[in-house]
Structure 1
Amino acid sequence: MPEGALEIDRISKRYGDVVALDEMSLTVRSGEMLGFVGSNGAGKTTTMRIALGVLAADSGEVRYDDAPVDRTIRSRIGYMPEERGLYPKMKVLDQLQYLGELHGMERAEANRAANRWTERLELSERRDDQLQKLSLGNQQRVQLAAALIHDPAVLILDEPFSGLDPVAVEVMSTVLGEMRDRGVPVVFSSHQLELVQRLCDRVGIVRRGRMIADGTVEELRSSGPVRLNVHAPKAPDDWAEGLPGVKVESHQNGHTTLRLDEQADDQQVLRAALDTGPVHEFSRTRPSLTELFREAVTEEPDE
């Protein structure tokens, strides 16, 4: 069973004047699933490729189980790229068996693993089909099987859920959860933030090549702004204007959404709402991961 953590320690990468990564750091622990999120071009794929040794970092280090990642350790990583990299005219089972052998498996062992994963990923009836004859969703399942064929110690996936239907998403989610439960560090990038929020133990938000937020979903949500939803049907549009530490985000038909800073007193807000008449709802909410992400990536960088 895998016991180590994957550590990316202050890696930087430049292409001329363009800074792709600026001391990027993240850790994916044994038995943990980390969602890696950021806008296009933020540095997610570059980080993954450096971890795999496809690209070389200008500085920093990638470690697994406290040891620098070398060729031997990289052979134990399962990788699913965003750009599908399989042979379109090769049959599914033959392809998976071949990839297993490339990872050093005996032919019979690779064949058993290929059959096991095609069955687990509900591809049994397509084993003898050419990859190009499969739907895009089934091609992604084959790509996942290719990442899992050699029983990896670490799993890195770049946009694995892109374009999948809900059934395929559930199958893939379950398999990734099983790998995590076996102690495998799992990291995947995704723009489907509701899925990241549901599946991941931790989330890392990256902007312009730097990790700007890292923690559990609840930790990140707790650090975000507090909002109040108030339903005061007789309240005028400006009833909350001027309350200390309170920003009115919306007001329509007696429903008001307020954003509170640390100095705001929610009891003062409640009294102000009651002064207008009956209050049918007064509830505190924390931002969703989607809201946190939107605020983080659109925030102006520090000078």
Structure 2
Amino acid sequence: MLQLTGVTKNYGSRRVLDDVGFTVADGRLTGFVGGNGAGKTTTMRIALGVLASNGGSVQLNGTPVTPEDRRRFGYMPEERGLYPKMKVGEHIAYLARLHGYSKAQATANAEALLERLGLGERLGDLIETLSLGNQQRAQIAAALVHDPEVLILDEPFSGLDPLAVEVVAGVLQERAAAGAAVLFSSHQLDVVERLCDDLVIIAGGTIRAAGTRAELRAAHSVPRFEISTTDDLGWLREIDEVTVLELAGGQAVFDADPAVARRVLQRAAASGEVDAFIPQHPTLAQIFREVIR
């Protein structure tokens, strides 16, 4: 488990991180979201020891992270960091050898991982000849090839087509299922919402919300319901405790206390056939807009 507590960072008189704290649990995917300049990359670099903080702590399983601990980390920066003149398979195997693997095991790890990421036929190609999307896949392989216990990825889905997103998402889920603590940032909120167990939202260098998807939805949810019936629902506008958001014949979306919503359902059922009555939950994009105001 990776834990950040009270992390601060200043550049001169400007504070870019202020009391940042959250946990990345073993076996779980944690999405880290925020706008440009919110502090995501700075936070990740401090967790990795690439950048020094001005205050706070970074701990692994309850003790301060050491340089030896960080050898068990995997990191994918947003910027491309591979050697363009090296062959794909050789490069990823070389990185595994830097982490102590034998030549045979490093080669086996690299080839299996690149095959899983859809680059099995490109092992002998130079990095620079790959498309940007395939370079991104190779960059992800570089972060994973030594089987890290903690995985930190900065915008891993950037530049990937929908099929590649699914492949990479599957690989990250497999790593989490094997027990790794996985933290990744992304501007693709729909992917984050679908993939993550836990979410952290940062804006202006401070954590605005953190928790599981269910916890964030509960904390930021307005009781909202969608109803579809065979009867006209115009009478909804006559109920003072109901705020009608959408209404077209027998279709409506409205806000109301759950007890009031039950009365709406009962009245609708008494007037005609109810085809659907569904509580609506806020999307991550909606929660994000709310908490960064």
* Structure-2-length-normalised TM-score: 0.87
- Residues 84, 260 of structure 1: CA spacing in aligned structure 2 closer, same or farther, 3 A cutoff? farther
Per-residue CA shift, 1:60-86, capped at 9, x if unaligned?
000112121121111211001111211
Q: Which amino acid aligns with 1:128?
A: G
Answer yes or no: is 1:243 the counterpart of 2:237. no
Q: Name the CA distance, whole Å, in 2 between partners of 1:60 and 1:147.
A: 26
- Residues 20, 269 of structure 1: CA spacing in aligned structure 2 closer, same or farther, 3 A cutoff? farther
Per-residue CA shift, 1:40-66, capped at 9, x if unaligned?
222111111110111111100001121
Q: Which amino acid aligns with 1:287?
A: P
Q: Name the CA distance, whole Å, in 2 between partners of 1:273 and 1:167.
A: 43
Query: What's the counterpart of residue 39 of structure 2?
Result: 43
Query: What's the counterpart of residue 288 of structure 1?
Result: 283
Answer yes or no: is 1:160 the counterpart of 2:156. yes
Q: Name the CA distance, whole Å, in 2 between partners of 1:228 and 1:17.
A: 48
Q: Which moved more, 1:200-209 or 1:146-155?
A: 200-209
Q: Does the 8 Å contact 2:16/2:204 carry over to 1? A: yes
Q: Name the CA distance, whole Å, in 1 between partners of 2:129 and 2:187.
A: 27
Pairing of 1:94-173 with structure 2 (within 5 A): 94-173=90-169
- Residues 142, 261 of structure 1: CA spacing in aligned structure 2 closer, same or farther, 3 A cutoff? same
Moved over 3 A (4+): 104-109, 230-236, 246-256, 267-275, 277-283
Q: 1:17 Cα shift?
A: 4.0
Q: Which moved more, 1:217-226 or 1:53-62?
A: 217-226
- Residues 255, 296 of structure 1: CA spacing in aligned structure 2 closer, same or farther, 3 A cutoff? farther
Answer yes or no: is 1:226 the counterpart of 2:220. no
Q: 1:289 Cα shift?
A: 2.2
Q: Name the CA distance, whole Å, in 1 between partners of 2:273 and 2:237.
A: 14
Q: 1:195 Cα shift?
A: 1.8
Q: Name the CA distance, whole Å, in 2 between partners of 1:268 and 1:62.
A: 51
Q: Does the 8 Å contact 2:92/2:145 carry over to 1? A: yes
Give unmatched runs, 5+ long, in structure 2.
Answer: none
Q: Does the 8 Å contact 1:239/1:273 carry over to 2? A: no
Q: Which amino acid aligns with 2:226?
A: N
- Residues 150, 229 of structure 1: CA spacing in aligned structure 2 closer, same or farther, 3 A cutoff? same
Which of 19, 22, 25 is the equivalent residue of 1:26?
Answer: 22
- Residues 270, 181 of structure 1: CA spacing in aligned structure 2 closer, same or farther, 3 A cutoff? closer
Q: Which amino acid aligns with 2:284?
A: L
Answer yes or no: is 1:187 the counterpart of 2:183. yes
Which of 14, 19, 28 is the equivalent residue of 2:10?
Answer: 14
Q: Name the CA distance, whole Å, in 1 between partners of 2:71 and 2:278.
A: 51
SS at match of 1:265: helix
- Residues 114, 252 of structure 1: CA spacing in aligned structure 2 closer, same or farther, 3 A cutoff? same
Q: Does the 8 Å contact 2:27/2:179 carry over to 1? A: yes
SS at match of 1:129: coil
Q: 1:127 Cα shift?
A: 0.8
SS at match of 1:83: coil
- Residues 279, 146 of structure 1: CA spacing in aligned structure 2 closer, same or farther, 3 A cutoff? same
Q: 1:139 Cα shift?
A: 0.9
Q: Which amino acid aligns with 1:215?
A: G
- Residues 20, 279 of structure 1: CA spacing in aligned structure 2 closer, same or farther, 3 A cutoff? farther
Q: 1:241 Cα shift?
A: 6.9
Q: Report the count of equivalent residues.
A: 290
SS at match of 1:240: helix
Q: Name the CA distance, whole Å, in 2 between partners of 1:116 and 1:274.
A: 57
Which of 210, 215, 218 is the equivalent residue of 1:214?
Answer: 210
Q: Does the 8 Å contact 1:240/1:269 carry over to 2? A: no
Q: Does the 8 Å contact 2:233/2:252 carry over to 1? A: no
Query: What's the counterpart of residue 265 of structure 1?
Result: 260
Q: Name the CA distance, whole Å, in 2 between partners of 1:105 and 1:145.
A: 15
Q: 1:121 Cα shift?
A: 1.9
Q: Name the CA distance, whole Å, in 2 between partners of 1:13 and 1:185.
A: 24
